[in-house]
Amino acid sequence: MRILAFAASLRKGSYNQKLVAVVAEMLRGIGADVDLAEFRDFDMPLYDYDLQTAEGLPPGAEAMRKRIEAASALVIGSPEYNYSIPGILKNAIDWISRARPMPWRGRSIYLVSASPGAIGGIRGLWQTRIPLEGCGALVFPDMFALAHADKAFDADGALTDAGARERLQNQVTGFYRLAEAVAPLCCGEETPRKQEITRALEEESRIQPPSKGGE
């Protein structure tokens, strides 16, 4: 099963990118094919309906759409900005939500965060769930927040705390098993049953206006 993994951070040496890399290695260890991306691969302007109407998805959003559609699940590392979701991630979610069929819908997502603070960015993860679930993503119930991230990695990028590694590995394994079970229904080959599920999801979670509609 292919999984797209990235951190919504542009900073060199990002703790969230380091954490996502650890998750990627754990997933590879249990059989996943992981596409580990840099968020700079997805540079895009602020969402603008007029720009969408005139030109469609910008190149960075189109690149993200293609890599999401090539995967059955995602791992997203999301920093906490002012108790909430980073603007660059929310902007990306908004752009990708305009594609049809909705790329987020039906895909399993595991959220992680890392912060030098004492609670590891968990408040931001709760906010990040909202737009993703609103777009029909299947966000894994457990989330991982790494506190004191400035001291959490060794020189090779591995987690130094055995307890944190074990807790993360348990969550990663649970996420992979659930995503693997769901993927054939939502992200597998085009079959009559998959088409039926896709239509049902579109009808039951139609919170966004049509792709050609404005605000």
Q: Which residues contact 57 (CB under 8 A, 6 or more apart)?
A: 65, 95, 98, 99
What tens digit of pLDDT does each residue of 12-43 get? 999 999 999 999 999 999 999 999 999 999 99
User: What is d(CA 209, CA 135) in angstroms, rounded to the nearest whole number?
Assistant: 12
**119-151: string of b/e by CB count within 10 Å (b at 16+)?**
ebbbbbbebbbebbeebbbbbbeebbbbbebee
Q: 97: which 2 tokens?
A: 């939500």
Q: Which domains does the chain have, with CATH numbers?
A: 2-204 (3.40.50.360)
Partners of 130 in the beta sheet?
none
2-7 and 73-77 beta bridge pairing? parallel
pLDDT score for 185 = 80
Q: Is the pLDDT of residue 204 over 60?
A: no
pLDDT score for 154 = 97
The pTM of the full predicted model, rounded to 2 decimals, is: 0.89
User: Per-residue confidence at 190, pLDDT binned at 50, 70, 90?
Assistant: low
What one-letter code names the amino acid at 88? Answer: I
Crossing angle for the helix pair 15-29 and 162-186, to the nearest 10 degrees = 70
What tens digit of pLDDT does each residue of 128-186 get? 999 999 999 999 999 999 999 999 999 999 999 999 999 999 999 999 999 999 998 87
